[in-house]
Structures are given as structure tokens and as C-alpha cells.
A and B are shown apart, each in its own frame.
Chain A
Amino acid sequence: MGAYNWNWPILLKEPYFGWIVSGFGNTCLIAVIAWAIAFPLGSAVGLARTTELPWLRLIGTAYVELFRNIPLLAQMFVWYYVVPELLPNDWSQWVKRDMPYPQFYTAVLCLGLYTASRVAEQVRSGIEAIPRGQRHAGLAMGLTPGQVYRYILLPVGYRTIIPPLTSDFLGVFKNSSLALTIGVLELTSQARQIEEYTFAAFEAFATATVLYCMVTGLVILIMRQVERRTRIAGTIALGAS
């Protein structure tokens, strides 16, 4: 590397410091809200795939295959440029003119629905990993299918999939960077913008990198504790990755 002019102090100057803070805030906000959509929806879709009802399983499978086989960026463009055009007239008007922060909410919705397909796969595999005998035993004891899920399958299933669910949460956190393609000023796009204004590329990208790594490390540490607390006696704990 030749003569690179290091300029770390510039990151502490306004407006650049403010950009990083607001970008980091947006990244976290997008990830958390998208996860709030993805977790319940993904759980529902995953459960649908484990029921005995063929049509419900089909809907679940179709959902997962649809969202998993289209690049996230293409989905982002479809939600942002195509869906508003296909809505009924007055909805379309509202989305285009009156919806607050359209880019932000479009990105959140897109990430939430996409991540739900990944959560669904984890929930399904968590439940399918439980020996079938447990479900049958529950039914034989007179529990309704709903009760079998509530008292037998879900408590065991969720606890075994904490590590992959952690990865999926970190996935949505990292994928929130795709929001920059439709103009949301999150962490990566703010770093990029600082680079364009100040040429302090290394400083800007390194800061963003450190922030991403810190959150990842923190989430992994917390989830390891959660995993330890909720471990099912007699099973081997797998570390979150």
C-alpha cells in the first residue's frame, strides 16, 4: 500500500459521525422489525408443513420455495417497483403518495417475508427431528392435535433449533444492507457515502465492519446463554455459529 492518508478523526466530525450513528440505528431497526415479522410468520409456515393436512402443507411448501428461490435483491425490486403498481387503485395511491418512509417499510416487509421462509425451514426440521412416537403417544393419550403441538412438539422443537435460528437472525441483520439498493440509509450505505464525500474508504468501511462484528459477537454470546438455560437434559449442545 503506497501513501495512504489515514484520517480517522474525520469520522468523529459532523456530519459523518451522525451518519454512522443513524446508519447503525437504521440497520438495527430494520433487522429487529423484520425479525418480528419473520419469526411468527415463519413459525406458522413451518408448522403448516408438519401438519397432517395436505393442502396446508402445500401452502407452506409453496411459500418456502417461492421466497427461497428468488434472489433477495430481485424480491426487493419487486416489492418496491412492481407491487405498488399491481395493488388496487386507492391502495396504490396511498403507497405511492401517503405512506411514510416507503423505502424503509418496503425493505422491512421484504426482509421479513424472505427471512420467514428460512425460519419456516428451521421450525419444520426442529419438529421433524422429534421422534414420531412422541406425537403418536400424545394423540393416544387423548390430547388434541393442537395440544400435541402446544405441550409436546413446540417446547422441544424450538429449544433444539436455537443455534440455527440465531444464524437466521444474524442473516436478517446482515441482509438489511440490501435496503441500500432502494435508498435506505443504513450502515453500509452510510459508510459508502462517507467514502464518497471524504475518500476515507478504509476508515469508513472498517468502522462499519467493526459494528457488524460487534453485534454478531454480542448476539452469539447472548444466545449461547439462552441455549444453555433452555437445554433439554441429556442432549448435546451445539454452539451457535
Chain B
Amino acid sequence: MFAGFDFDVLIKSLPFLWLGMQLTLQLTVLAVGGGLILGTVLAVIRLSPIKPLSMAVAAYVNFLRSMPLILVIFWFYTLIPRVTGTSVSSFYSVLIAFIMFEAAYYSEIIRAGISSVRRGQISAALALGLTPPQAMRYVVLPQAVRNMIPVLLTQSIIMLQDTSLVYVVGLRDFLTSAEIVAGRDNRPIELYLTVALVFLVVCFSASRLVNLMRRRYSL
């Protein structure tokens, strides 16, 4: 079955594939960072007592979560140039799409993490004479963060896999680069199996690490 497996094609296209991998990693890191920041802001607003604001955020989160990521990418890809009137590189339009999309998911994780801390803990902290910010800083957040970090990391691994969707706007990430080589050299088997294997190894190891961490630091 694998008698005709051509490693030469892979070796020759390695530099090109590595360029694609760099774009994948760059996009993942920036989108995770941006998504976390925006997601935290959204979660804080969602938990705030100001009803109209928290409802607006809830609507945003539910709206984005009911859309396919590909459609969100298309939206921003055509929307941003029209709104700003200037052409934006597809990298930035895709990056913004990812940040807006992932923030919706991150904010739910962060909100669940904060909500998972029992009310009694806050009451106890306040009864001990801590101020509300101190109660947040020393009692709620240390527990909440420990609860949510494994889930946030798992979501980031999913995010790494999702970056492959930039294929639909022709951005040259790892998978798209492989697709280009596969078409050029007519070697789909070698290229696609390599992509699958690389992702499998990276994502599997990463999720094992997350599990290990979860076991070590869980409350």
C-alpha cells in the first residue's frame, strides 16, 4: 500500500511547509492572545450587574456561537475592506475574525470558571473583613483560574486546529501549503497524511500535557 510513498517530495517541500507552519503558529498565538483579552472583558461585562450591558454581551456570544467559523471568516473578509474603505491583508481580516469568534467561546469558559466558585466563599471572605476587590483577588480568582485554565488550554488546541480554515480565503497556512504542493506535484497521499500526522502528534501531546497539569493543580 505504501510502496509508492515518496519521501523525496516531502523533503523537497519542507521549507515551504515550514513557512506555512510558521503562519499557522503565528495566527494561533495572536488569536489566542487577542481572544483571551477580549473574552475576559466580555466575561466581566457579562457578570456585571448592569443589565443592558450584560444582555448585549450574552446576545453577542450566543450569536457568534450559532454561526459556522467559515461564515464568520467570510463575513470579516468581505466586511472589513468595505467598512474601512481600504484593503486589509487577508491575514489581518482572518485574525480579527478568529479573535471575535474565539472570544465568544473563551468568555463562556471564563464566566463558568468564576461562577464555579461557591457563593459561600465570597461571603466568608467579606465576613473576614476583606474588601470586595481583595475577596476577588485572594479568594475567587485563585480558585476560578485553576478551574478554567485546563479548559482554556483545550479550547486553544481546538483553535490551533481551526486555523486550518484560513484555507477558504487562500491564506498559506500549514494545510494550505500542503494542498499547494499536493496539487503541484500530484502527491496528495504523502502531503495530506503528513499534515494529519503532524497535527495528531502536536495536538495529542498538548492535550496530554493539559491532562497532566489538570491532575497536578486541580483543587
Contacts and interface: CB of A to CB of B under 8 A. Distances in A.
A81 B207 contact: no
Contact of A177 (B1, B70, B162, B193): B70
Given A86-B1, A188-B74, A192-B74, A71 B193 contact: no
Interface of B is mostly: helix
Contact of B108 (A1, A72, A177, A241): A241
Interface in A27-48: none
A15 interface: no
A214 to B, nearest CB: 9
A78 B193 contact: yes
Interface string A1-37: 1101000000000000000000000000000000000
A56 interface: no
B164 interface: yes
A178 B79 CA distance: 21
A215 B149 CA distance: 32
Interface in B66-84: 66-71, 74-75, 78-79, 82-83
B70 A178 contact: yes
A66 B196 CA distance: 10
A85 interface: yes
A201 B82 contact: yes
Contact of B179 (A69, A77, A209): A77
Contact of B200 (A70, A77, A178, A208): A70
A212 B82 contact: no
B115 interface: no
B165 interface: yes
B195 interface: yes
Interface of A is mostly: helix
Interface residues of A, number: 41
Contacts of B182: 81
Interface string B170-210: 00000100010010000011001101100110011001000
Interface residues of B, number: 37
B16 interface: no
A1 B200 contact: no
B192 A70 contact: no
A171 B195 CA distance: 23
A236 interface: no
B175 A82 contact: no
Contact of A69 (B75, B168, B200): B200
Given A74-B199, A81-B182, A82-B189, A201 B204 contact: no
Given A1-B82, A75-B196, A180 B70 contact: yes
A177 B71 contact: yes
Contact of B168 (A68, A180, A217): A180
25 contacts: A2-B85, A68-B203, A68-B207, A69-B161, A71-B199, A72-B161, A77-B179, A78-B192, A78-B196, A81-B188, A81-B189, A81-B192, A82-B192, A82-B193, A85-B189, A86-B189, A175-B68, A180-B70, A181-B167, A191-B71, A192-B74, A195-B74, A205-B71, A208-B71, A209-B75
